[in-house]
Structure 1
Amino acid sequence: MTSPFTVAMTGQSLIHHDVRASPDSGFHDIVQMLKTADVAFTNLETTVTGRHPGWPMKGSFFGCSEPFVLDVLKDMGFNTLSLANNHAFDLGPGGVLSTLEEVEARGFLHAGTGPDRAAARTSRSKKMGAKTVALAAMDAGPGPATMYADDAASDRPARPGVNRLEVRRLFTVDPEKFDMLTAIQSIFKSGELERANYYQPDDPPVVSDPRDIDFYGTVFRRSVQNRRHILIDQTSASSQLAAINESARRGEFVIAYLHHHHWEADWREVPEWVRVFARRCVDTGARIFACHGAPVLQPVEIYKSAPLFFGLGNFIFHVPEHEAEWNSADVWKSVVALCSFNEDGALCGMSLEPIILGGEKSLETGLPHTRRVPVLARSEMGRSIIEDLARRSASYGTKIEADRWSGRLVL
């Protein structure tokens, strides 16, 4: 009988420190899980320094790491990395090129950035276990246009950067609020010039619907309800899906990855546009869809025998001492999903192992910067993580049963 093909999916890894010497046995238990899987995946939530010069491209929430963090991840068992995220451009194009070189030198399967748009969009593949695995990774922002890879043209060179899934934000507002926005614009007689001055480095939004106005870079539409909408550019989506389909047609096992910060007011909820896009990825040929961005655990759905991990939260989350934004305990709780697939690439089993970053006792300290390693939660708190995930995933038709401290998917 053929052994199943196994994939370990984890939360994002914002890593700055060498954690290999941690004495915590619960951390080393996780490492053993990763090492036994054919594929061990995380999102590299940082940019790596290297031979290409780079400079900080932002003020707050800037982060870069020395190349040794890749050795740490490799020694932990990771062999597959997404590079598409909001920190990938923190050192600019030089940081993108350095990260690519350092990742490639260590033999990781990776995707999501490139020296130009065509390369960044390309899914990459590698033989792992019994299958050839392909990774397609993209970022939906929000971020400045300059962080995304672009191809060369007759009058401009290529730009190294991140693979972009283009989306736009649209606010619908009731007539009273819409008229108020229009009135504000009319106060500044040079409104068109005023808006144009602030478009750089982004191009102005395209406003073609008579119900819309461009309010200094944000589009508002007159409507009967007040609501935010995230709309996917279909041309951009088609190009991303084409890369997935090309790998699937070659018989490769495709992992589709999306990073974004267009969260719901409740971070733990799944944006509907993400769910729709995840299903399109599977319809096109992906066997796993995974998403990061919101630093919390979100529900799991099974669609056409493929798991949709809408948000796996954090796996490693090294924050500086002065950052006090991460007080919620949800930020420090997640799972490692151990998935088994049959010869046809259909999901045939999944266990969910609860983890707490820093361990359970660290949640009582109020010192987020000390929570260096993920630890298996073999406790009532671990069980509560599974039960909470099971309750929220049930609305997506997913049945998860608690099995002592772990969770088990009921197919």
Structure 2
Amino acid sequence: MTLAGQALMKYPVCEAPYDGLLDVIAELRRGDVVFTNLEVAIKTSASGVPTRDTEFFHTGSETTLECLHEMGFNLLSLSNNHAWDLGTSGIIATRDAVDRSGFAYAGTGNNMAQASAAGYLETPVKTALIAMAMGKIRDGAAATKTRPGVNEVVLGADLQPNPKDLERNITAIKAARVNAKIVIVYLHNHEWGEDMAITKPWAREFARQCIEAGADIFVSHGAPLLHGIELQNNRPILHGLGSLVFHSHTDIGYYVPEVWESAIVHVDFVAGQVRHLEIVPVVINEVGDDPARQWPTRGRPKLANEEQAHRILTRMQKKSAELGVNLRIENGRGLLDLG
């Protein structure tokens, strides 16, 4: 299984190949199951009107989905704070486009029950995905019993997930555990607090609860930078994988440098158990490669060089050590053996 940073892909990177793209694609295609979060609403003739008019308005086209397929992805989360950027009809249109493109997916639905339910990738091993979002889900974007939307988990003032939201998703995880060989639980987390680089205690506890309910892997995006890796019952918790593609229209320097660094994580299973993790460092260009096309040529991934890899892995090693996990670094890769 291969898990990557989120795909904020407004401009299909496959349409304008660049030096390093094929290396990234080759790395992604190592996985039988290849996962990311789709951080754009897909615009089709059935989409609604924009619900925001700032640089944080994120949409892509059906060509974006074709590119993700070409890169190797076959499993997508749709639960995030940009799913509603084209309104409620945009959520439905995105689901329909993703479905037509042949992806397995989860995280939005025509109602709360559908948004909370697992999506299933049937081959090569039946894999379930339960996908949620927390924080910056605007009024009207969350699914209800009768309204399409996102599978939202609300964080209370006590820094605890809303009990009904938690129960609904724990029930979905347990059901997926019965129906699939491998269960992935995903959280798109924008409840950062004052420092988005710190993994919060409530987030660690929430991930552990999902593992205890039956998840084999817990993975998170939201904060656009890397967090550490934790283990629960010898199952990996990836607290933050940053971005794989980051077509942000923010000013240069708006984000800290770490936002432009990421990783691809390969997870090897043997007899249904996680045995090995390999972390492949990735860098993303903050400045567009073509000044005349700043936005389409910005935020594109390449595999890190030796110096970049050392910097990324050393930071991730430190963050993981704080969570009780000892990553080792060999030949520009992070490695973790689970027996």
Q: For this structure pair, what is the TM-score category when the shorter chain's length is used for normalisation?
A: over 0.9
Matched, 1:33 2:27: yes
> Residue type matched to 1:326 in 2?
Y
**1:186-265 matched pairs, under 5 angstroms:** 229-265=158-194
The answer on whether the counterparts of 2:133 and 2:189 sit within 8 Å (CA) in structure 1 is yes
Q: Which residue is 2:265 aligned to? A: 337
Report the Cα offset of residue 106 of structure 1.
Answer: 1.1
The answer on whether the counterparts of 1:269 and 1:299 sit within 8 Å (CA) in structure 2 is no
What is the TM-score with the length of structure 1 in the denominator? 0.77
> Residue type matched to 2:52 in 1?
K
Q: 1:209-263 CA deviation, whole Å, 9 max, x = no partner? A: xxxxxxxxxxxxxxxxxxxx52211121011010010010224311000012110
> Residue type matched to 1:373 in 2?
R
Judged with a 3 Å threshold, the aligned counterparts in structure 2 of structure 1 residues 46 and 361 are, in CA distance, closer, same or farther, namely closer
Matched, 1:319 2:313: no
> Residue type matched to 2:128 in 1?
A
Q: 1:384 aligns with which of 311, 316, 334?
A: 311
Q: Which residue is 2:71 aligned to? A: 76
- Any gaps of 5 or more consecutive residues in structure 1? 1-6, 152-157, 171-228
**Distance in 2 of aligned mates of 1:349 and 1:34:** 16
> Residue type matched to 1:241 in 2?
I
**1:77-96 matched pairs, under 5 angstroms:** 77-96=72-91
Q: Which residue is 2:14 aligned to? A: 20
**Distance in 2 of aligned mates of 1:27 and 1:293:** 24
Q: Which residue is 2:336 aligned to? A: 409
**Distance in 2 of aligned mates of 1:93 and 1:270:** 31
> Residue type matched to 1:48 in 2?
I
The SS at the match of 1:167 is: coil
Judged with a 3 Å threshold, the aligned counterparts in structure 2 of structure 1 residues 396 and 372 are, in CA distance, closer, same or farther, namely closer
**Distance in 1 of aligned mates of 2:60 and 2:174:** 34
Q: Which has the larger radius of gyration?
A: 1
Judged with a 3 Å threshold, the aligned counterparts in structure 2 of structure 1 residues 360 and 340 are, in CA distance, closer, same or farther, namely farther
Q: Which residue is 2:94 aligned to? A: 99
Q: Which residue is 1:296 aligned to? A: 225
**Distance in 1 of aligned mates of 2:259 and 2:296:** 13
RMSD: 1.9
Report the Cα offset of residue 282 of structure 1.
Answer: 0.7
Q: Which residue is 1:221 aligned to? A: none
**Distance in 1 of aligned mates of 2:287 and 2:150:** 36
Q: 1:358-397 CA deviation, whole Å, 9 max, x = no partner? A: 39997xxxx7764242100022111110111001111111
The SS at the match of 1:286 is: coil
**Distance in 2 of aligned mates of 1:369 and 1:326:** 18
Q: 1:166-187 CA deviation, whole Å, 9 max, x = no partner? A: 222x2xxxxxxxxxxxxxxxxx
**Distance in 2 of aligned mates of 1:39 and 1:262:** 28
The answer on whether the counterparts of 1:338 and 1:352 sit within 8 Å (CA) in structure 2 is yes
The answer on whether the counterparts of 1:326 and 1:368 sit within 8 Å (CA) in structure 2 is no
The answer on whether the counterparts of 1:359 and 1:374 sit within 8 Å (CA) in structure 2 is no
**Distance in 1 of aligned mates of 2:299 and 2:180:** 39
Q: Which residue is 2:203 aligned to? A: 274
Between the aligned residues of both structures, percent identity stands at 32
**Distance in 1 of aligned mates of 2:16 and 2:280:** 20
Q: 1:312-361 CA deviation, whole Å, 9 max, x = no partner? A: 011100022x5446342111101100110111x32101110000013999
Q: 1:74-98 CA deviation, whole Å, 9 max, x = no partner? A: 1100001000000000111110011
The ranges of structure 1 where at least 4 consecutive aligned residues each deviate by more than 6 angstroms after the TM superposition are 359-362
What is the TM-score with the length of structure 2 in the denominator? 0.93
Q: Which residue is 1:138 aligned to? A: 132
**Distance in 2 of aligned mates of 1:325 and 1:88:** 26
The answer on whether the counterparts of 1:356 and 1:374 sit within 8 Å (CA) in structure 2 is yes
The answer on whether the counterparts of 2:280 and 2:334 sit within 8 Å (CA) in structure 1 is yes
**Distance in 2 of aligned mates of 1:108 and 1:390:** 33
> Residue type matched to 2:322 in 1?
S
Q: 2:49 aligns with which of 55, 58, 66?
A: 55
Judged with a 3 Å threshold, the aligned counterparts in structure 2 of structure 1 residues 281 and 109 are, in CA distance, closer, same or farther, namely same
> Residue type matched to 2:187 in 1?
L
**Distance in 2 of aligned mates of 1:77 and 1:410:** 25
Report the Cα offset of residue 160 of structure 1.
Answer: 1.2
Judged with a 3 Å threshold, the aligned counterparts in structure 2 of structure 1 residues 11 and 74 are, in CA distance, closer, same or farther, namely same
**Distance in 2 of aligned mates of 1:371 and 1:361:** 4
The SS at the match of 1:307 is: strand
**Distance in 2 of aligned mates of 1:236 and 1:252:** 25
The answer on whether the counterparts of 1:264 and 1:270 sit within 8 Å (CA) in structure 2 is no
Judged with a 3 Å threshold, the aligned counterparts in structure 2 of structure 1 residues 360 and 57 are, in CA distance, closer, same or farther, namely closer
The answer on whether the counterparts of 2:43 and 2:62 sit within 8 Å (CA) in structure 1 is yes
The answer on whether the counterparts of 2:28 and 2:264 sit within 8 Å (CA) in structure 1 is no
Judged with a 3 Å threshold, the aligned counterparts in structure 2 of structure 1 residues 403 and 77 are, in CA distance, closer, same or farther, namely same
The answer on whether the counterparts of 1:19 and 1:372 sit within 8 Å (CA) in structure 2 is no
Judged with a 3 Å threshold, the aligned counterparts in structure 2 of structure 1 residues 103 and 324 are, in CA distance, closer, same or farther, namely same
The SS at the match of 2:334 is: strand
The SS at the match of 1:391 is: helix
The SS at the match of 2:29 is: helix
